[in-house]
A and B are shown apart, each in its own frame.
Chain A
């Protein structure tokens, strides 16, 4: 009886996706330039 070679292929599990919250963190302060605006104060 021929020997059967059952190769089991295993594929590595995909790496967990790391949330990159820090890249989309919104700043709490937004600076606005009003130089050149007329009628402001």
Chain B
């Protein structure tokens, strides 16, 4: 059973400031220094999305900018929701 996580793909997001991302051949390792969680990002395209989140007005715009297709969009939105739940990415406040 999976728990539904509210993730607003139209909101601005960014990689959390307490997170380090280390590129790996399979994608990347992400480590949160606050909650000590470690995750594998198993796609280099997802790594590009996470790194670019802060440069775009929304997660949806980031997916488009990174070339994520409509067919892939559901899986990537779920991946971002997982990362939001584990606090690897956070909502970005717009000044």
Q: How far is the CB of A7 from chain B (nearest CB, A)?
A: 48
The range of chain A's interface size is 10 to 19
Residues of B within 8 A of A35 (CB): 36
Residues of B within 8 A of A41 (CB): 31, 33, 36
Q: Type the 1/0 row for B22-53, where 1 means its CB is closer than 8 Å to any CB of A.
A: 00000000010100111111110010000000
Does chain B have a CB within 8 A of A17? no
Which chain B residue has the least Cβ–Cβ distance from A25?
A: B75
| Given A31-B38, A34-B36, 12 other A-B residues pairs in contact with their CB atoms under 8 A | A27-B75, A27-B82, A28-B41, A28-B79, A29-B41, A29-B42, A29-B82, A31-B86, A32-B38, A32-B40, A41-B33, A41-B36
B residues bordering A, Cβ < 8 Å?
A: 31, 33, 36-43, 46, 75-76, 78-79, 82-83, 86
A residues bordering B, Cβ < 8 Å?
A: 25-35, 41
